[in-house]
Structure 1
């Protein structure tokens, strides 16, 4: 999702960064031509809960697509979000839904944010990246993410939990084979906005 300048990083550092946060540096792995850097850090007291939600968790958003459907429940203090997909799921227009509204400041279009997120491929329902699985939020500038991710976060408030179902055009129009994303895939993200700067 983010273009990253790794011109000062070692080759092994690039591989570690790519493996540690696939979706956030997906478009940048192996590229030296970009100009922004990403800090994968957040306040030490902040974590992304990794525990799976209980069976029967009630969705906060259900969206029928042009094919299939998705049901999303946001994360809690102790559990990761729940994203259930009836495959293949596709949308013809990017849809954003606020699952829970936070009480922090509004996120500007060009802000740097710290978020916990889970990315799910609508074609097959697979989780292709999750900071919840890693247990730590990721920090990045919104100017460097795919359009659908920016649409989901900009204008929200810190503390909010948001879901987005994005078209391929707002995600990866040509696909991202390293993440199992094919051309035309609709992507679904469940996101919690932890902090904002800038």
Structure 2
């Protein structure tokens, strides 16, 4: 699991390399001995020894949204309200808290459904996420700020985070407003979270393994 201020302490919670090789053959037009005969296997027939370039390492966009626009999710809480839009390929998510924001029941909203496999409750996931404190609207942890996704097993995170991801499809962007009981009922001082704080997360599910 990637280390972070929150994930390292409470289990809530890594560049791309490419290889290009060129195969060339030189010979004289008059040198018939270098030309493949009808019975000689070609490179395509015997297979190429050129290795495929490794896939790019996933990353989280660090740029802030150019403008708020129309939120993808607006939620009125027991107190206050929150507006959320998920991340794009180039920008981090947008989360605006009219606070203090709180909820008595955890609520999950799919901002954009993915088309990958369904995530099981015990899967190990790779995600980009932003966590916001409903009490004051502060960002207490964000893999978007670091530009690097985090990976962890869902059975090792706070209940609200598991509720947000389990049952979703890989590729989805989701938001969750979690009550204190599903987050940190006793607070998490290292992250500035006090007992009773409701939390809001915007999450992009990049991958999941059983």
**Same fold (TM > 0.5):** yes
Q: Decide which of 5, 23, 26 is 2:6's aligned counterpart.
A: 23
Task: Say whether 1:145 aligns with 2:145.
Answer: no
- In the TM superposition, what is the alpha-carbon distance from 1:98 to its structure 2 partner? 0.2
Could you say which residue in structure 2 is the equivalent of 1:11? none
Q: Decide which of 60, 81, 98 is 1:69's aligned counterpart.
A: 81
- TM-score, normalised with respect to structure 1: 0.82
Task: Say whether 1:174 aligns with 2:182.
Answer: no
How far apart, CA to CA, are the structure 2 residues paired with 1:126 and 1:93? 21
Could you say which residue in structure 2 is the equivalent of 1:88? 100
How far apart, CA to CA, are the structure 1 residues paired with 2:126 and 2:153? 9
How far apart, CA to CA, are the structure 2 residues paired with 1:120 and 1:25? 18
Tell me if the contact between 1:95 and 1:166 (Cα under 8 Å) persists in the aligned partners. Answer: yes
- In the TM superposition, what is the alpha-carbon distance from 1:44 to its structure 2 partner? 4.5
Q: Which runs of 4+ in 1 moved over 3 A?
A: none
Task: Say whether 1:79 aligns with 2:91.
Answer: yes
Q: Decide which of 52, 67, 71 is 2:64's aligned counterpart.
A: 52
**SS in structure 1 at match of 2:208:** strand
Q: Which runs of 5+ in 2 are unaligned?
A: 17-54
- In the TM superposition, what is the alpha-carbon distance from 1:115 to its structure 2 partner? 0.2
Could you say which residue in structure 2 is the equivalent of 1:124? 136
CA RMSD of aligned residues (A): 2.1
> Radius of gyration: which is bigger?
2
Tell me if the contact between 1:26 and 1:176 (Cα under 8 Å) persists in the aligned partners. Answer: no
Q: Which runs of 5+ in 1 are unaligned?
A: 5-16, 29-37
